[in-house]
Amino acid sequence: MDYEYKSGQVIKTIAYEVPIINEPFMYHFGVIFVEEDGSVFVLHNSLDKGTIKETLEVFLSSREVEEILPSKLENLSNEELLYRFELCNDNFDYLRYNCEHFIDCMEGSEPKSEQAVLYALILVTLIVVIKKL
């Protein structure tokens, strides 16, 4: 699917799928960054590289686009986006600073991660079920 990208949009990609049913298991988010020459990059944090700016092509080499989401970052200049990107530079951590936390940091919002909460609940449920067996 072709998209017309705009700086500040949030890109939601499928990071992992459940193999048997081919359903998304985990998503990865980043911020679209379009340079003046039209080159498209993604600002994001990754498990192995930390907070990075990489080409859309490299970003999508191991992911599939689920959707492009509007954000309040679209109203910012590229200079302001890069300034926020530098402020949000941190190492990836599933619970403390994952891709959802990164997006919140870029937007200046309170950090939260729906995925981390969901997987923590699943883990606690599994532990309770196993202990009852």
Cβ–Cβ < 8 Å for 88, 71: no
pTM: 0.81
d(CA 19, CA 35): 36
Mean pLDDT, contiguous 10-residue spans, the chain (133 residues): 88 78 78 97 92 96 93 96 96 87 93 64 65 73
The residues, any chain, with a CB within 8 Å of residue 42's CB and separated by 6 or more, are 11, 30, 31, 32, 33, 53, 54, 55, 56, 59
Strand 40-46 relative to strand 23-34, pairing:
antiparallel
